[in-house]
Amino acid sequence: MSIASARRRGLPTIWLLAAGLCLAATHVAPAGEPAASTYWDVKDIRPGMKGKGRTVMVGSKLEEFEAEVLGVMKDVSPGRDMVLCRLKGCQLEHSGIIQGMSGSPIYIDGKLLGAVAFAWEFAKDPIAGVTPFSQMVQYVRSNDRRIAAESKERGVRGPFHASTMRISPWIEGLSGDEPAPGMSFQPLPVAGGSSGGMTPIVTPLAASGFSPRALAMLGERLRPIGMAPMAGGAAPDRIVKAEGDRPLAPGSPLRIGLVLGDFDLSGIGTVTHVEGNRVYGFGHPMMSLGACELPMMTGYIHTVYPRASVSMKMGSPLKVVGVLDTDVSTSVAGRLGPGPDMLPMSVRVKTGRYADDHTYRVQIVREPTLMPTLIMSVLTNAIDTEGNLPEELTAKLNATIRMKGFEPITLSDTFSGPRYTGQMGASALFNPLASIVNILARNSIESVRVESVDCDVQIEPGRRVASIESVRLLSDQVEPGHILRGFVTLKPHKGERETVEIALPIPEDFPVGPCEVTFCDAITSVRRTVRNDPAMLEPHDIAGLVRALRVQTDPKRTGVYMHVQAPDRGLSIKGQPLPNLPGSVRSVFATRREVPATPIRSDLVQSAATPWVVEGSQSLRFTVVKDAGLTLSLYR
C-alpha cells in the first residue's frame, strides 16, 4: 500500500510513517553496496541517450570521453545484458577501444550506467560493449553470499577444497615422462566468450624483468583466459612516491598483481566505482576465479600504444592498497586495506664455476590454478637473466618446499641430457618443482599451506650422462644371510667406460629358489617402488600424499640402483596398506572375495653413487640356495 493511498483511506499518522519506512527499506542497498538510485536499471536505457565516461590515458590524470547509447542487447549470456555505446574523445576515434580501459565508468545524467568491457577487433568505429553496473553489483553480491555460506560450512564440515579434481601424486618430469592427470599446466578454462561478435577486452599483463622465453610460456598459458602478457617495466621511484598513495577513484588505473618483487607481473584495468572500502572494476572477469585473494594496486599509465587490432595501455604498478577478493563474470571487486597473504619464493642461480651467483626474491599469489605456472615462469626467467646457457649442460638443483605441519620436501638432484638443452630445457628442468607445488596446492584431500619455496640452481657446461652398458654378478648363486655382489659397466657420454660395484645383503629368512636382480636408474627404481605398493598412488590423507612425494624425490639420478624382489609380506585393503602381515592372515583375506586385497611387495634395494646422471636398466637371473658349497667362499 502506498503512502498516498493510506492517506486517502484516513489511516493514522503512525501507520503512514511505518508505511514510509517499509517503502524506504525496499530501496536501501545492503551494507557496503552503492544505493540503487545511483545507477541505471537496464530496462530504463534507451537508444540516443548520451553521457560521459572517465579513464586515464597518460599518468594518473582522469580524462572524460563522450558516450552515446546505440542499444541494449539482452541475454548475451545467461543473466547478462550488454549496452552498446559509441565512444568519442580522448583520441578514441584514432585508437579505438583500448586494452586496459576495461572498467572505465560511463555516466548518464550523473547516474552510473556501467563499465566499458567489450570490443570488436579491427573495428572502424570506437563502439564498446558496456556491462551494466546493476549486474556488476548483483554478481559481486552473489559471490559474497557464497563466500559467507562456505565459511560457515567450513566451521562445521572442515576445510574447503578449491579443487575437487583428483590430482595424481606422480611428479611430472621426475618419475617418468607420462603426463599426470589433472595437471594445471593444461590451459585454464576460457574466461568469458564472444557476445554478438564482441569479446571481453583483453587484460594487458605487464611483465617487468621477464625474458622473451618466460613471456612466451605465460602467453601460452594465460591468453586462453583473456590475458595478454607483454614486456613492461617498473615505474621510476619519483613516480611511485608522487602517485603511489593517490586513492583509487572511478576511472583511475586498477592493477591486479600476480608476481611481486624482483620480477613483477600484474594486469591492467580501470576502476568503475568505489563505495566505502569496496572497489569495483573491469566489467568482465580477469580469470573467472570466483572467490580469490590477489593484490589490488594503484597504477600509472605511460602511454597508449595504438594498434590496428585493439590498442593497449602501457603502464606500471605502484603500491598495494588492498585485496581483490571477487572475480566473477561481470566484474572484479576488492577491498581497500592490507594486502593479501602471498607465497614467498627465492631463486639462487650460478652459471659456471667462476661466475657470480645471483639471488632473486618474489612473492606469488596463492591461487592454486596459477601457482605452478607462475613458479615455472619465475624459475625460467631467473635462468634467462644469466644470459645464454651452454649448448650442453649439467644442472644441480636443490629446492626446498616448506609446508605448515610437515617436514619440508627437498628436491636435490642433478639433471643432464638432451631434454635439458634448447628452448624447452628450462621447462624440463623446473617441471618437477612446479609439479610438486601443484600436487600439494590442488589435492582434494585437505588444504595444505605451502609456507615458502626456495631454489638453488648451479649450471655447468657439458653433458654428464652415462648409460648402463652391461651388468654381471660375481656368482649366480647366493646363500641367505650372505651378500649378492653385482658389477655395472657404465658408458659416459664422450668418456671412457667405468665399472661400479654394488653389494646387496640377502636376509637370512629369504626363501630359496630362482630370483631376478635388476640394475637400473632412479626413474626405474621409483617405478618399481610404486608398482610394489599401488596404494601409494591413492593416498587417503596428507601424510600419505607427502610420503608418495618423498618416495619420488629421495632417489638421485646420479645413482645406480640394485633391486631384488622380496616375498609378499602385506596387503592393501581398500587402499589402506597393511604391511608385514603373517601368512595366515594373508590367506584369510585371500579367501574373502567381498574384501578386495592387493598384495604389497617390497624390494631389497642397494645403490651406488656415480658422478654421472645414469640412464638405463638391465636384469640378470640368480638362485638363492641353502648350501652353495665352495661358491660361498666368494661371498665371505
The predicted model gives 156-171 an average pLDDT of 56
- Interatomic CA distance for residues 17 and 618, integer angstroms: 92
Predicted pLDDT at 199: 67
- pLDDT at residue 616 greater than cutoff 60: yes
What confidence tier does 130 reach under pLDDT thresholds 50, 70, 90? very high
Residue with the larger pLDDT of the pair 28 and 277: 277
pLDDT for residue 576: 57
**Alpha carbon distance 522, 528 (integer Å):** 10
In this prediction, residue 153 carries a pLDDT of 63
For 581-603, the pLDDT digits (tens) are 555 554 555 555 555 556 667 88
| Distance, CA of 27 to chain centre | 42
The answer, yes or no, to whether residue 451 has pLDDT greater than 60, is yes
Whether the Cβ atoms of residue 300 and residue 314 lie closer than 8 Å to each other = no
The confidence score (pLDDT) of residue 112 equals 97
Q: What's the rounded mean pLDDT across residues 81-87?
A: 94
Pairing mode, strands 613-615 and 465-473: parallel
Is the pTM higher than 0.85? The answer reads no
538 exposure class (CB count in 10 Å sphere: 0-12, 13-18, 19+) = middle
| CA–CA separation, 384 and 406 (whole Å) | 33
Instruction: Write the Ramachandran bin of 521: left for phi over 0, alpha for psi from -120 to 50, otherwise beta.
Output: beta
Sign of CA dihedral 630, 631, 633, 636: negative
CA of 32: how far to CAs of 140, 271, 281, 331, 350, in Å? 12, 17, 15, 16, 51
Where does 459-521 have alpha helices with state H?
none
Average pLDDT over residues 177-185: 43
Using CB atoms within 10 Å of the CB of residue 140, give its burial: 0 to 12 exposed, 13 to 18 middle, 19+ buried: buried
Give me the residue spans of the domains in the chain.
46-156+188-214+224-338, 343-461, 465-566+601-634
Residue-level pLDDT at 162: 44
Q: What are the pLDDT digits (tens) for 89-123?
A: 998 988 888 888 999 999 999 999 999 998 887 77
Band (488; pLDDT cuts 50, 70, 90): very high
Q: What is the mean pLDDT of residues 482-507?
A: 95
Distance CA 309, CA 98 (A): 10
Mean predicted confidence (pLDDT) in 333-343: 95
Question: What's the pLDDT at 344?
Answer: 97
The answer to whether domain 343-461 has CATH 3.40.1000 is: no
Position 209 scores a pLDDT of 85
pLDDT of the residue at 147: 79
Would you state the cell numbers that stand for residue 293, as one nine-digit string? 585473494
Alpha-carbon distance of 304 to 312, in angstroms, equals 6
Question: Rounded to whole angstroms, how far apart are CA atoms 437 and 474?
Answer: 44
Per-residue confidence at 580, pLDDT binned at 50, 70, 90?
Answer: low
% of the chain surpassing 90 pLDDT: 51
Element (H, E) at 358: strand 358-364
- Please tell me the predicted confidence (pLDDT) of residue 369: 86
Residue 404 has pLDDT above 70, yes or no: yes
Query: 56 burial class (0-12, 13-18, 19+ CB within 10 angstroms)?
Result: buried
Section 250-262 average pLDDT: 95
DSSP assigned state of 263: S
Confidence check: pLDDT of 519 > 90? yes
Mean pLDDT, residues 324-344: 94
The radius of gyration computed from the CA coordinates of the chain, to the nearest angstrom, equals 32
Beta strands in 244-336, from DSSP E residues, in sequence order: 253-261, 264-275, 278-281, 290-305, 311-328, 331-336
586: number of Cβ within 10 Å: 17
